[in-house]
Amino acid sequence: MTETRPPLPPFTRETAIQKVRGAEDGWNSCDPHRVSLVYSPDSKWRNRAEFVSGREEIVGFLTRKWAKELDYRLIKELWAFTDSRIAVRFAYEWHDDSGNWFRSYGNENWEFNENGLMVRRYACINDLPIREADRKFHWDRSGPRPADHPGLSDLDL
């Protein structure tokens, strides 16, 4: 049986936005196994200076990431799209085990196969130390960002 992850390419503005929001919701689950299933079994990543290949390495990467980046909350926004590619900008807030808060900003370029699985992910990310009082992402950690929570443009990020 062939795996599919709708929406499928070629993307329209509406389906690209759906794909971005689905990715945001998945990453906000902080469940490495769940997240890995939207990538092809041979997916290739560059995340900062780390290179990842395949679902097993994706699970390992995300497990390490979310063990370090505590109370992780992410917002993604569509930047551009073509038939099988999507560019997003994003920001996420998290703290380390010493209680130091950060807002990480970045851009991702995604490429999908005909079944809607991501085959390539290239991410550039910068971390900004923030005070806990300066956090802007406030929602219950047990679920996705609520529909009425402001997005990146609304927050002027």
Answer yes or no: is pLDDT of 51 > 70. yes
- The answer to the question of residue 34 being in a domain is yes
- The answer to the question of residue 23 being in a domain is yes
The total number of structural domains that make up the chain: 1
pLDDT per position as a tens digit, 113-137 = 999 999 999 999 999 999 999 999 9
CA atoms within 13 A on the CB side of 73: 21
pLDDT of residue 1: 61
- The answer to the question of residue 62 being in a domain is yes
CATH code of the domain covering residue 87:
3.10.450.50
- The answer to the question of residue 142 being in a domain is no
Mean pLDDT value of segment 60-75: 97
Cα(83)–Cα(124) distance, rounded to whole angstroms? 22
94 — pLDDT class (breaks 50, 70, 90): very high
pLDDT of residue 2: 79
Angstrom CA distances, 17 to 12, 21, 88, 93, 157, stand at: 8, 6, 10, 21, 18
pLDDT per position as a tens digit, 10-40 = 999 999 999 999 999 999 999 999 999 999 9
- The answer to the question of residue 58 being in a domain is yes
